[in-house]
Amino acid sequence: MKKKKWPFVYVAVITVLTYIPILLTVVYSFNASKLTSVWEGFSLKWYRELFRDRDLGEALINSLILAVLSCAFAVLIGTSGALGMSRRKRKLDDAVAYVSTLPIMIPEIILGMVFLSVFSLMGLPFGMVTLVIAHTTFCVPYIFTMVRARLVGMDRSLEEAALDLGATKWQVFRDVILPQILPAILSGVLLAFAMSFDDVVISIFVTGPKVNTLPVKIYTKLKTGVTPEINALATVMLFVILLCLAGAYVLGRKSQTAVEKAAGGK
Amino acid sequence: MTKTKITSNSRRRSGNVGLMIPMYVFTILFVALPILYLFLLSFLQRAQVWGVDFTFTLDNYKRILEPLYLDTFWQSLKLAFTATFFVALIGYPYGYFMAQMNAVWKRRMLLLIMIPFWTSALIRLYGWIIVFRSNGVLDKILMGLHLTKQPLKLLYTYPAVVVGMIYSLLPFMILAVYSSAEKLDASLVEASRDLGASAWKAFWTVSFRLTLPGLLSGVVLSFIPSMGLFFIADILGGNKIVLVGSVIQEQITKGRNQPFAAALSAVLMVLTSVMIRLYRKITGTSQLEGMM
């Protein structure tokens, strides 16, 4: 079959369009004017203002702590759950698995509403604790589903072999199971972390007056008016992401060549 | 972990029941019970000053039937349908074509789609403020090309909100379609071509049928969030466009009426589960395509 050009043109055009708003934020982050309609020359003043902003810095740290804690709990709960369920076929397990994925199936706003009402019923003070509980609920599904899918495709006879050879259950987990499910855990964490770090809707409902996460802070800033600082913040975030991706790419290359070398050496 | 050495196979199999305790406890305590409480709450009364009064009432649901709130639901559904329609129109071909690229380009495109996904959703919307603002980038371009005479003032209008929604939801559709188009067996299409089907007919009878689960999954994945994305309507629509999501948030923050907000959420949740059920009926699968 002859390859046609226009599908690729289509994909390219749409991709470029999706990047225009992002590129505009980057360009305007260097604009000296406070207004986005005029260009008054190159300036770094919004970056200076950004790094001077204590509130934003604090919100960033809160967001990082929140994402790390939620992911850590989600890894423990999701991985152990997937492992426990992997070898049985019970209706109750399926029901629990289904309910556990609800937090990413229902609209975020309902989840926020659910937690707000329950936490106020329980009398829990709104703040980091409530944030972590709420975020953990929607982080668990990503990790649980990933690990469960990986376990289905895994050769379980290796575990039995290890057990037959006298390994303890812990050793089997550490040396046989964990290395095989680690990629699944990591890709689950990658998604869960991004979701937690970016969440506005649920956080607005369960955050307290003293704790701000970065997206909540940005949201209030955007609502109150023009803040070119946000352009600078967007640019910094984009830069950090590209840096991480480049790092991951280089590491991936290295391990790939290492594997190829090892394979070639045999 | 059990200390005793287990030898029999069946004991080994049931040996990891303890592993499930965290999952069971967490899911029941923080997902199942809270959702049940939401339904219960929707039948309660709001207390005089603050909090909830535990007396049964149907008033919250009766209130939803008032024209004001019915209209809000209708507006939200309309916006969600409009956004989902355009998302499917733009995203389906994109995901479909992407699946036909070679491995290197597939990886590159996935990365290109994921990068904006990783920046904050809010910040991406901020870019659109720059585009739509009166005398902003779009106005400058259109006036420069002499297509329009004066600024369109698109910011804080309905079209701006629709664009914001499409923009935020497009990645979900693309990934869903892509993951089902990737599994498409090209030899089936070739076979139908060899048997004399036109390119269009081959696409319609083979490719489209087989990628339908991806498309439907994308529809569900964009329709459901679009009902609750109140911050898009807030930022790009000003206070003019009111969605169910905005009403729920308002009832809690300003109205301090948790039971009514709970009733609105309950209706929204039932709508959502009807959609997921429909999806399962049509495709016969339980997992949404491209969800992960």
pLDDT over 60 at A141, yes or no: yes
pLDDT over 60 at B291, yes or no: no
Least confident of A29-38, A44-53, A117-126, A206-215: A29-38
Residue B29 is classified by DSSP as I
What are the structural domains of chain B?
60-283 (1.10.3720.10)
Residue B142 token pair:
């259109």
Residue whose token pair is 């937090």: A103
Q: Are A76 and B23 in contact (CB under 8 A)?
A: no
Radius of gyration of chain A (CA): 23
Q: What is the pLDDT of residue B14?
A: 45
Is B11 an interface residue toward A (CB < 8 Å)? Answer: no
Q: How far apart are CA B92 and CA B216, in angstroms?
A: 10
Question: Between chains, do A21 and B22 touch, taking CB under 8 Å as contact?
Answer: no
Q: How far apart are CA B252 and CA A196, in angstroms?
A: 23
Question: Between chains, do A201 and B261 touch, taking CB under 8 Å as contact?
Answer: no
Least confident of A14-23, A29-38, B3-12, B133-142: B3-12
Interface subset of B 134-153, CB within 8 angstroms of A: 134-137, 140
What's the whole-number mean pLDDT along residues A227-240? 83
Q: Are B24 and A92 in contact (CB under 8 A)?
A: no
ipTM: 0.83
Mutate to test the interface with B, among A109, A131, A178, A201 (most CBs of B within 10 A): A109
Q: What is the pLDDT of residue B261?
A: 92
pLDDT category of residue A130 using cuts at 50, 70 and 90:
very high
In this predicted model, which residue has the larger pLDDT, B71 or B291? B71
Interface subset of B 233-292, CB within 8 angstroms of A: 234-235, 245, 248-249, 252, 258, 261-262, 265, 268-269, 272, 276, 291-292
Q: Hey, which residues does B143 pair with through a beta bridge?
A: none
A133 chain-B contacts, CB cut-off 8 A: 30
Q: Helix H segments across B48-136?
A: 59-64, 67-98, 103-118, 121-132
Q: What is the pLDDT of residue B84?
A: 94
Q: How far apart are CA B284 and CA B8, in angstroms?
A: 38
Q: Are A232 and A29 in contact (CB under 8 A)?
A: yes
Q: How far apart are CA B265 and CA A110, in angstroms?
A: 6
Q: Hey, which residues does B53 pair with through a beta bridge?
A: B45
Radius of gyration of chain B (CA): 24
pLDDT over 60 at B74, yes or no: yes
Q: How far apart are CA B213 and CA A183, in angstroms?
A: 27
pLDDT over 50 at A265, yes or no: no
Mean pLDDT score across all residues of chain B: 84
Residue ranges per structural domain of chain A? 54-231
In this predicted model, which residue has the larger pLDDT, B291 or B228? B228
Mean pLDDT score across all residues of chain A: 85
What's the pLDDT tens digit per position in B31-43?
Answer: 999 999 999 999 9
What's the whole-number mean pLDDT along residues B5-16? 48
Least confident of A17-31, A128-142, A230-244, B113-127: B113-127
In this structure, CATH architecture of domain A54-231: Orthogonal Bundle (1.10)
Query: In chain B, whose CA is at the least distance from the CA of A222?
Result: B235
A194 chain-B contacts, CB cut-off 8 A: 117-118
Closest partner residue to B234 among A84, A218, A223, by Cβ?
A223
Is B112 an interface residue toward A (CB < 8 Å)? Answer: yes
Query: In chain A, whose CA is at the least distance from the CA of B134?
Result: A37
Q: What is the pLDDT of residue B288?
A: 67
The SS3 of residue A173 is: helix
What's the whole-number mean pLDDT along residues A57-65? 92
Q: Hey, which residues does B45 pair with through a beta bridge?
A: B53
What's the whole-number mean pLDDT along residues B277-284? 82
Question: Between chains, do B37 and A241 touch, taking CB under 8 Å as contact?
Answer: no
